[in-house]
Amino acid sequence: MRPQDDWGLIVFGCFRLPIVSATAQILPMQQSLAQLVAQAHQEAQVIKTRAEMEAFKARIVGPNGSLTALMKNMATLSKEERPVMGKLINEAKKSIEDLLSALLLKIEDAEISATLGAPLDPTLPAIDSPAGQHHPLSQTRERILATFRKLGFTVAEGPEIETEWHCFDALNTPADHPARDMQDTLYLPQSFQSADAPRRGQEALVLRTHTSSVQVRTLLNRKPPLRIVAPGRCFRRDAVDATHSANFHQVEGLWIDHHVTLADLRGVLDFFVKETFGPEAEIRLRPSFFPFTEPSFEMDLRSPNLGRLSNRWLEIMGCGLVDPAVLKNCGLNPEEYSGLAFGLGLERIAMLLHGIDDIRHFYQNDLRFLRQFA
């Protein structure tokens, strides 16, 4: 009879070992093996750390482990019993290996969870991040642009590094004009090149002193009729004080069409001022001089809603009708076209709107100041 024919089962907890033909020698070993495996499964349930697992592993399969000891006893078995017991030991070893692998996975999972913290539920709604806000100058710029959009103006842009020709010559500003003086204008070194404003010959590159250069770029690139507003950064070597900065912002306006007149200029500026400062705000055009407009004006504003500056005439921009020489320089026939232009200081408008008494607040990134515009 083959030994397998009369196998029964020895059951310890969840582990079952078949009972093989019970010779006096093999039966106690079989029972010890089944007991060892069942006990290992039970002990494994309380093991939590890598160190505990290593000690547990050593107790079973280490050099002095219980399973190792049983394996050593194989030598005492007969030639027939050895393969039978060998098979059972192999099954027990496999069961212990599986148990150790599962234990290791469980411990690694616990270690990762401890490092990562509580598990995430990706279906939960996100925690609100603190909402940002636009800088007061950006807010003012958007408000101004929105007003001019209502009158059909679109936004145009030009480079901050500009050629002398676009910034001055094309705008009918002669070489001996004070604005071109090194004291007022920031010139770039002759070696400097700009892809946005290539030099013609030996002409100088400057940091633009006003956004009127965008007038020139627009007239060269687009055919009238056109209405544009050009917001942007400007640079001058002005001494910094409460109302002057070396780096400030302007919004330029340009409207070119057949028969644009002073009445259009007044109408556009009056609309802008009433939209921005309220329906009671008034404007006044004071004769002035700009090389690129004829006639030229300073526009003053008066409003009852400006706190301590209420009901006083305040100068807020330069304006006028586009000088025929500028139209000619840009390839337009002044007999056919006329236009109006204006340029306002963004900081000055924002200061009036919010009662700010020093332009330097805009550039200091002081959150106590900036949060007031949320």
Using CB under 6 A, list all residues that contact ligand FA5.
210, 212, 236, 238, 244-245, 248, 250, 252, 290, 293, 317-320, 341-345, 347-348
Lookup: tokens for 38: 């069942």
Closest CB to ligand FA5 among residues 66, 211: 211
DSSP annotation of 284: E
| 3-class SS of residue 113 | helix
Closest CB to ligand FA5 among residues 34, 207: 207
Distance CA 67, CA 316 (A): 95
Distance CA 242, CA 276 (A): 23
* Smallest distance from ligand FA5 to CB 219, Å: 13
Which of 162, 328, 123, 157 lies closest to 254 in space, CA to CA? 157
Which H helix or E strand runs over 167?
Answer: helix 164-167
Closest CB to ligand FA5 among residues 94, 286: 286
Closest CB to ligand FA5 among residues 93, 244: 244
Q: How far is CA 110 from the centre of its chain?
A: 36
DSSP annotation of 62: S
Cis amide leading into 295 (omega within 30): yes
* Smallest distance from ligand FA5 to CB 141, Å: 13
* Smallest distance from ligand FA5 to CB 207, Å: 12
* Smallest distance from ligand FA5 to CB 120, Å: 50
* Smallest distance from ligand FA5 to CB 300, Å: 11
* Smallest distance from ligand FA5 to CB 196, Å: 20
Q: Which residue is nearest to ligand FA5 (CB)?
A: 345
> What is the CB-side half-sphere exposure of residue 365 using CA atoms within 13 A?
0
* Smallest distance from ligand FA5 to CB 234, Å: 7
Closest CB to ligand FA5 among residues 57, 348: 348
Lookup: tokens for 168: 């001055």
Under 8 Å between Cβ of 236 and 185: yes
Burial annotation 252-267 (CB, 10 A radius, 16+ → b, else e): bbbbbeeebeeebbbe
Closest CB to ligand FA5 among residues 57, 236: 236
Closest CB to ligand FA5 among residues 52, 315: 315
Closest CB to ligand FA5 among residues 236, 302: 236
Under 8 Å between Cβ of 297 and 320: yes
Distance CA 284, CA 262 (A): 13
The span from the first CA to the last CA of the chain, in angstroms, equals 94
* Smallest distance from ligand FA5 to CB 342, Å: 5
